[in-house]
Amino acid sequence: MTPPLFWVDEVPRAGDTALLSGPEGRHAVTVTRIKAGESVILGDGRGTTAECEVVDVAGKDKLTVRAGRVEFQTRPKPVVTIVQALPKAERSELAVDLMTEAGVDAIVPWQSSRSIARWSGAKAVKGVEKWRTTAATAAKQARRAWIPEVADLANTTDVRALAARVVADGGVVALLHEDGAVPFRSIRFDDVGEVAFVIGPEGGLADAEIADLAALGARSVVLGPEVLRTAAAGAVALGALGAVTDRWSR
């Protein structure tokens, strides 16, 4: 079984000792019940991890480890950004959790025209912070070396700019839609550097949004015969992408 992963600001060098404390140390000691002699992984969320041996446990929130092998994992290709229209409250963090465990690299929360949830001001700041916390927790659970980047709340103008940039750089922007013009399997993803999936809320993407983004080079794509809930669509798309590219080669 893979040792549990805990986040630190800086990963120790091989042979060095380090103290894990604070919320991560408390979780290691009181929840995971790590003991001296056991193995853990420390990661910085930016690709670097260290396999460590626990040499001492002190109190309820501190343990000392000695680092063994230190490794840097590059991001898999293509890099994947998911533009996620705000789902209903109870499904918002679920969407982030699932797409993080499935390997997303960046998440853009989007205030689309059909989003029932409406974020603004302090609510937008709080919502984004919740998504970032959820992404970090899910990445730890999945033993990922990278925590997905969660952008600030985007409006449609921001999403247009993102789509235009990805297309201009030779990437693919796929609008996941039940009435998509082309099937997912017909698109060649294996020779592009970046993919952006755009996912609508419970009511789906508006016709105007589809037309607007398609005019910039985005493609309206259908994943399969079933209509997916917005919270699951990102994870399913990442799974399909992993099966047809080298993202799952490790």
Topology match between the domains 5-72 and 79-243: no
Q: Residue 250: its pLDDT value, please?
A: 59
* Count of CA atoms in the C-beta half-sphere (13 A) of 209: 25
In CATH terms, the fold of domain 5-72 is Ribosomal Protein L25; Chain P (2.40.240)
Q: Is residue 117 scored above 90 in pLDDT?
A: no
Which pLDDT tens digit goes with each residue over 48-88? 999 999 999 988 889 999 999 999 999 999 999 999 999 98
Q: Residue 98: its pLDDT value, please?
A: 97
Which pLDDT tens digit goes with each residue over 164-177? 999 999 999 999 98
Mean pLDDT of 224-229: 84
* pLDDT, mean over the chain: 93
Mean pLDDT of 194-222: 94
Mean pLDDT of 25-38: 91
Mean pLDDT of 133-161: 97
Strand order in the sheet with 182-183: 149-150, 106-110, 79-85, 194-199, 172-176, 219-222, 182-183
CATH of domain 79-243: 3.40.1280.10
Helix (H, G, I), strand (E, B) or coil at 106: strand
**CA-to-CA distance for 155 and 73, rounded, in angstroms?**
32
Q: Residue 137: its pLDDT value, please?
A: 96
**CA-to-CA distance for 225 and 229, rounded, in angstroms?**
13
Q: Any idea where the domains of the chain sit in the sequence?
A: 5-72, 79-243
172 Cβ partners below 8 Å, 6+ apart?
78, 166, 187, 189, 192, 194, 195, 196, 219
> Which of the four pLDDT bands, split at 50, 70 and 90, describes residue 224?
confident
